[in-house]
């Protein structure tokens, strides 16, 4: 059982106050008939931004140790959990959430999440975590028979967005963004090229708290301008926001890209999806990071080698995404893009005969 030390301090203060009143009466105080005022009720503890980041890490620690009761306590009773575009129904309460997590760890009993980045703004937290594990149990996939154990490891980055309640200590809603295709390729279950298995390090995560500074607001404005350039299909204007040593981590691609490679890829993408557009849901900053959640929409009208498109499919796609950028001196130094590329491939009809 975890006891909040601040509650103990409040309780001790109330107890001491009561003892002083009783002592005054017993010793013949000047106003023995005066009744002591009832102590003010202790309201729910509201975590500070730094405490919310620490609580978030503690919940991941419960997951890593398979301490399911304290892990379940991280969620509100009616919490919702969405594995974005993963083909799974949204879990609608804490019981369903824990049951789903247990099913995942049945396939990967040693599964762990290592936090790499935690961003906090009010009731919203965003994390990047490295998910590792070894496939030693049946892997259940929606609409398909269970996959027997392969004995192979996985190591993939996952984006996580959560909304907490007014106390900052209960998840109300969460979304996970991960590319299923990368995991399947690492297990040898997909021939598509994918990122190699990543291994965890013991480095503590970077924790950044939004402060509403002019620099944060400027980065948000620049991010919105880059999104507008993207929706205008102006690849060079998009590239103008990137630093010369820009590093692009598209989690669906087998390797990171440089600024030059990213520009070429963007130009190819606009040819393949001439009506492509990004619909942002939210854009906010914490320190030198900017977080965007949104939806990509477009129709494939041409080939794109990076996506395995040899010819136009004329199919429409729609995918939700999480994009995190790190800015320095008004330029993007690093970017992480999370979405389920396997879901996009399915919409395009790739892999089907």
Reported as a single tens digit per residue, the pLDDT across 263-281 is 999 999 999 999 999 999 9
- Of 322, 345, 320, 324, whose CA–CA distance to 333 is shortest? 324
pLDDT over 80 (residue 141): no
* pLDDT (mean) for 163-191: 96
Query: What does pLDDT average to over the chain?
Result: 89
Could you tell me the two tokens for 52? 């919310």
> Taking the domains of the chain in order of start, what are their residue ranges?
49-209, 214-348
Q: Measuring CA to CA, how many Å separate 12 from each of 6, 36, 43?
A: 10, 16, 15
Q: Hey, what are 279's tokens?
A: 């619909």
The CATH class of 49-209 is alpha beta
Strand partners, 294: 280, 321
Whether residue 16 has pLDDT greater than 80: no
Classify domain 214-348 by CATH number: 3.10.450.50
What's the pTM value of the predicted model, to 2 decimals? 0.87
């Amino acid at each position: 059982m975890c006891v909040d030390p601040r509650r103990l301090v409040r309780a001790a203060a109330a107890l001491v106050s009561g003892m002083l009143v009783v002592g005054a009466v017993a010793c013949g105080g000047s106003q023995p008939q005066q009744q002591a005022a009832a102590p003010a009720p202790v309201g729910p503890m509201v975590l500070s931004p730094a405490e919310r980041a620490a609580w978030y890490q503690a919940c991941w620690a419960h997951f890593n140790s398979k301490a399911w009761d304290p892990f379940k306590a991280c969620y509100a009773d009616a919490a919702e959990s969405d594995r974005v575009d993963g083909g799974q129904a949204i879990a609608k309460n804490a019981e369903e959430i824990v049951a789903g997590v247990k099913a995942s760890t049945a396939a990967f009993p040693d599964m762990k999440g290592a936090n790499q980045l935690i961003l906090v703004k009010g009731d919203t937290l965003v994390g990047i975590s490295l998910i590792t594990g070894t496939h030693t149990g049946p892997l259940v996939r929606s609409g398909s028979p269970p996959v027997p154990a392969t004995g192979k490891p996985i190591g993939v980055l996952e984006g996580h967005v959560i909304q907490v309640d007014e106390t900052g200590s209960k998840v109300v809603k969460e979304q996970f963004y991960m590319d299923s295709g990368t995991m399947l390729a690492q297990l040898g279950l997909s021939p598509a090229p994918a990122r190699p298995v990543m291994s965890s390090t013991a480095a503590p995560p970077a924790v950044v708290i939004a402060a509403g500074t002019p620099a944060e607001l400027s980065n948000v404005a620049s991010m919105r301008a880059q999104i507008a350039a993207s929706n205008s299909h102006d690849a060079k204007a998009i590239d103008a926001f990137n630093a010369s040593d820009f590093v692009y981590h598209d989690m669906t691609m087998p390797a990171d890209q440089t600024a030059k490679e990213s520009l070429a890829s963007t130009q190819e993408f606009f040819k393949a999806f001439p009506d492509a557009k990004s619909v942002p849901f939210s854009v906010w900053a914490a320190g030198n990071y900017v977080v965007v959640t949104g939806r990509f929409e477009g129709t494939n009208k041409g080939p794109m080698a990076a996506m395995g498109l040899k010819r136009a499919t004329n199919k429409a796609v729609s995918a939700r995404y999480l994009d995190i950028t790190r800015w320095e001196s008004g330029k993007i130094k690093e970017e992480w893009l999370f979405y389920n590329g396997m879901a996009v491939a399915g919409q395009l009809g790739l892999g089907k005969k």
